[in-house]
Amino acid sequence: MPSTAQPINHGCSHPSNPRQLYLDHLAPYGTPLPPIDTSKVLRICMQKPQHSFQIYGDTIDLPSIVTNLQSVGANMYIPISPNVNWNTSSTWPRTHHLFCSHFYQVHLSAVSSDIGKNSQYFNKPIVGGAAIQTFGQWASKIQQSFSDSSGFGTFTVTTIQGKGKKHLSIISAYIAIQK
């Protein structure tokens, strides 16, 4: 079910239910991002979405992430350790339509550990993994994408054609640190 969160920005109010976004604490910080020419500049947003990037039932709930990507002019999104099992064949179709409603082209380069291929994990999040989502005209400039073939699901790479013969390779990696 898509998010129905409504932002509240008036005075010192507090959310009245768990689906509201409390934004008052953000008001005094930072400055707005300047507008960019998205045909010449690739703005990348990397974030650890915590539990915001999870599959629920028939879809994925992305509370305002997609709308925010569009509002800041990001044409590439790299969720760090999205905890999504990309080995399940239905995962991308269940997420793709959310991005397509805001960006006319969407490309995904993603990987999860091979443990996600076991049937007991099909509908469960898997810690780790890596993903790169590219939107709009930048999706059509992708020359190559590949992912970790070792079965550990630690990295994915997307290479974009730049001006002339220049290429830009973006790498998303999941690194597990053991104590």
What is the 3 state secondary structure string of 39-102?
CCCCCEEEECCCCCCEEECCEEECCCHHHHHHHCCCCEEEECCCCCCCCCCCHHHHHHHHHHCC
C-alpha 143: how far from chain center: 20
Give the percent of the chain with pLDDT over 70. Answer: 72
On the question of pLDDT at 50 being above 90, the answer is no
For 11-15, 26-30, 68-72, 124-128, which range has the lowest pLDDT when averaged over its residues?
11-15
179 falls in which pLDDT band (50, 70, 90)?
very low
Coil, strand or helix: which one is 151? coil
Give the percent of the chain with pLDDT over 90. Answer: 9
Separation between Cα atoms, residue 162 and residue 111, nearest integer Å? 25
Average pLDDT, the chain: 76
9 falls in which pLDDT band (50, 70, 90)?
very low
142 falls in which pLDDT band (50, 70, 90)?
very high
Quick one: pLDDT at residue 148? 87
Mean of pLDDT values over 55-79:
74
pLDDT digits (tens, 9 = 90+) for 68-116: 888 888 899 998 877 788 888 777 887 787 788 788 889 999 888 888 8
For 8-12, 70-74, 114-118, 125-129, which range has the lowest pLDDT when averaged over its residues?
8-12
